[in-house]
Amino acid sequence: GYGIIEPTISISLDAKKYPWTKNVPKEVYFEYVGNFANVNESRNNWRQLMYDALFEALIEPLLTSDEDTIVEDVVKSLNQNMWTMFHNSDEEIRFKSGQTPLVYDPMSIITFRYASCTGLSIFLRAP
């Protein structure tokens, strides 16, 4: 297999079909959506887990909305809702100082349900 490369590329390219991505320049899209890492965080296959957790509750309603959805709408919806979308729990993913570099990749944040500001920033930009 290809490890995390093939699923990362597949899911990130698949996301380009959403209407709110049409005005995002290709260079920006590949830099911020297509990349498999932000800095030197652990490399793991978190994209499918995140897609499965977020699609039905957050993405699908945006696709069926009567309004023209723009990137800002998607980011706002994610920021308001994604922190409780994992593990079928009402427990929010929360801020906890001093976690970088131990807990700041998306999979670790989902597992531990906390991260410092670096981890939370990476997590928000991950989808």
Which tokens is 86 given? 């994992």
Give burial (CB, 10 Å; 0-12/13-18/19+) of 3. Answer: exposed
Q: What is the CA radius of gyration of the chain?
A: 15
Instruction: Give pLDDT tens digits along the chain (127 positions).
Output: 668 888 888 998 998 899 999 888 989 988 888 877 888 888 888 888 888 889 888 888 888 887 888 989 999 999 998 998 887 767 899 999 999 888 989 999 999 999 999 999 999 988 7
The angle subtended at Cα 122 by Cα 88 and Cα 117, nearest 5°, is: 95
Q: Which is it for the CA torsion 97, 103, 106, 111, positive or negative?
A: negative
What is the pTM (predicted TM-score) of this model? 0.83
